[in-house]
Amino acid sequence: MKLSDFKKAGHWPTLLAAFLYFDISFMAWVSLGPLMIYITKGMPISVEDKLSLVAIPVLGGAFFRVPLGLLA
């Protein structure tokens, strides 16, 4: 397959929309961890609870990336 045929095989707007969706979703998910420190400043919760709120989005994304990628 030639490179010119490969470029014509897909639908450019769909590819761009999928890339932007993935990129923005990834940025939002990764931002949850650092933002949780500021969100929980006024809440009366323990340090351990704050640490788990910071770690869950980051570790969840890391652990579920491979299994959900295989399902896709």
First to last CA, the chain: 25
Residue 55 confidence (pLDDT): 83
Statement: residue 53 has pLDDT above 70:
yes
Q: Can you tell me the distance from the alpha carbon of 24 to that of 14, in angstroms, rounded to the nearest whole number?
A: 15
Residue 14 has pLDDT above 80, yes or no: yes
Q: What is the pTM of this model?
A: 0.52
Question: Residue 38, Cα to own-chain centre: how many angstroms?
Answer: 20
- With a cut of 80, say whether residue 1 has pLDDT above it: no
Q: What is the domain range of residue 43? A: 3-71
| pLDDT for 41 beyond 80 | yes
Report the distance separating Cα 14 and Cα 19, nearest Å.
9
Say how many domains are in the chain: 1
Mean pLDDT score, 18-24: 88
